[in-house]
Amino acid sequence: MRRIYRNTLIAGSVLLSGSALAQEFSPDPAGDPQQVLLAGDKNGDPLETDGPLAVCFVPGTPEAYIEEITARVTAINAGLVAQRYVLGGRWPGGQGAPLEIRWSFAPEGLNIPNQIGEGPNTNELFSRMDALFASQGGRARWVLRFEQSFARWSELTGLTYTRITNGVDDWDDGANWGAPGSATRGDVRIGMKPIDGSNGILAFNLFPTSGDMVLDRAESWGSTTNQNRFLRNTIMHEHGHGLGIAHVCSDNRDFLMEPALNLGFDGLRQDDMRAGQRHYGDVSEPDNSFGNPNLLGTLDPGDNAVNYCDVPEPQTGSNPGGISNCSIDADGENDWYQFELTGPAEITVVAIPNGGVYDDNAQAGNGSCPSGNDTDSGSFADLTIDIYESDGTTLIATADDTGKGDSETIAVPVTAGTYFVRIYETGTGPAQTQFYSLEIMTVSTTTCPSDLNGDGATDLSDLATLLGNFGLGGASQMDGDIDGDGMVGLSDLAILLAEFGATC
């Protein structure tokens, strides 16, 4: 724990919102909580921090306030770590490597030291949140909102989470604030105490390798709008800093990690996902070898194209455009996929870069949000596709015909069996995350399309299959869709009966 005996505001990340910031800055320790905080240490208590910080302001905050606070933060950060950009350091592990993070609630009454000039105080998380959620299902509901917030990061990156308790209660072992994670204590710990009154600082959060989060007791965390989005977006934003993601500024997009809390959407947006996957990989990690592929299951001849990189919808609202749950996060990254093909077919594999052009800037040293730096997130990597035999080493075909920002396609006839697809980049390695979609479709190559089971004859077993699937939509050739219209119907039955008894 670094102790700082000076009048300086410091924390991991501080997220501010509300009218209390619309006052003129005056470092007068008397009066409201914000002015006490600006004055520095309370009662001479030392400031204590485990790492660097970012400060988040509500739009319209006076420039004098922003410049004063940001100057203090910048000075302290310079003494802790090298300059941070939009992406800071991650938890231990290689770039793009997946990670499991343990998290826990600190017990009621645990002392949380003076970290941003707010003074030391005891944790009031359980008593305060239990009261706020008493009419919403009680503790189970607000704990669920924390779980859902961490789960959303897990749905969109290579992160997984485990909640830790002391084995008896809903909280951890109660070790001193700042203690490292253990079997009975999270790597990320969550507490609550008075910070500066309502509508000022919402929370603060340290960067790796601490990641601890403190919420301001005074805020309206029980707001029910959009399934407690105010609480959930605050948690997801603050934990983003706990993952090593700094603030981003944009004049034409909305992102979770912008300095001011935004409730116009639910959770991570495109830039937030790209940052998370750059640090911790996509949801399929580790899939960097044919020995540990992403298993796609069984494909039948005649299956329509399926995108294997779809992103689950957020808890409320909808996803932004240009995102994917598959990505090349670094130079030399390989994503391997495995599938089983039940019959002879021409397989078509398409890798489609996803993204778009948006304004993307690091927050300035004085706390302001600059603009004018466009990022074309769909053009960071030149995608390449390989298809391999079941041994994972015998190459069948390669597609590397286009450049950055363009799709690649392979179409090749194969027999029934096990196959691997490898997606990777060639040329200059990507400096940022490249999203892509993976689509695979199959077209039967049998000379007797009415031979549904591929045994070389159109017979009673094929007729039984067709009749059993009659009326089925989204069907494949092996289901009985002989004419390829996606439906098992009368025209398919007519074809089969006309070819009944034929061999091939």
CA distance 338 to 418: 7
- This model's pTM is above 0.85: no
Mean pLDDT across the stretch 17-38? 37
Spatial CA neighbour of 340 closest among 438, 412, 418, 393: 418
Nearest by Cα to 367 from 1, 25, 19, 31: 25
Mean pLDDT for the chain overall: 85
Residues 191 and 311 in one domain: no
State the total domains in the chain: 3
Q: Which two tokens stand for residue 404?
A: 């950055």
- Pick from 444, 460, 481: which residue ends a domain? 444
Residue 106, pLDDT score: 98
CATH of the domain at 79: 3.40.390.10
Please report how the helices 225-242 and 139-156 are oriented relative to each other, as an axis angle in degrees rounded to 10. 60
What pLDDT, on the 0 to 100 scale, is given for residue 2? 30
Cβ proximity of 106 and 189 under 8 Å = yes
Higher local confidence (pLDDT), 156 or 11: 156
Q: Could you tell me if 453 and 439 lie in one domain?
A: no
Location of structure tokens 């809390």: 261
Q: Which domain holds residue 461?
A: 449-504
408 shares its domain with 497:
no
Q: Are residues 354 and 485 in the same domain?
A: no
Residues 263 and 337 in one domain: no
One domain, residues 174 and 220: yes
- Residue 346: is its pLDDT beyond 90? yes
Q: Where does a domain end: 428, 444, 460?
A: 444
CATH number of domain containing 306: 2.60.120.380
Residue written as token pair 């919102």: 17
pLDDT category, 302, cuts 50, 70, 90? Answer: confident
**140 and 237 share a domain?**
yes
Residues 120 and 229 placed together within one structural domain of the fold: yes
In this predicted structure, the answer to whether residue 43 has a pLDDT above a threshold of 60 is no
User: Which contiguous run of DSSP H or E holds residue 181?
Assistant: none
Q: Which helix (H) or strand (E) holds 128?
A: helix 125-132
Tell me: do 348 and 257 sit in the same domain. Answer: no
CB 248 within 8 A of CB 240: no
Alpha carbon separation from 482 to 179, 251, 470 (Å, rounded): 65, 52, 12
Whether residues 126 and 69 share a domain: the answer is yes
Residues 246 and 362 in one domain: no
Residues 311 and 432 in one domain: yes
CA–CA dist 55, 247 (Å, integer): 9
CATH number of domain containing 473:
1.10.1330.10
What span, in angstroms and rounded, lies between the C-alpha atoms of 498 and 178? 77
Q: In the listed set 395, 429, 444, which residue is the last one of a domain according to the structure?
A: 444
pLDDT at residue 411 greater than cutoff 90: yes
**By C-alpha distance, which of 61, 193, 185, 57 is closest to 115?**
193
> Residue 260: how many CB atoms within 10 A of its CB?
17
Residue 135 identity: S
The per-residue pLDDT for range 443-485, each reduced to its tens digit, is 888 778 899 987 889 999 999 999 999 999 989 888 999 988 8
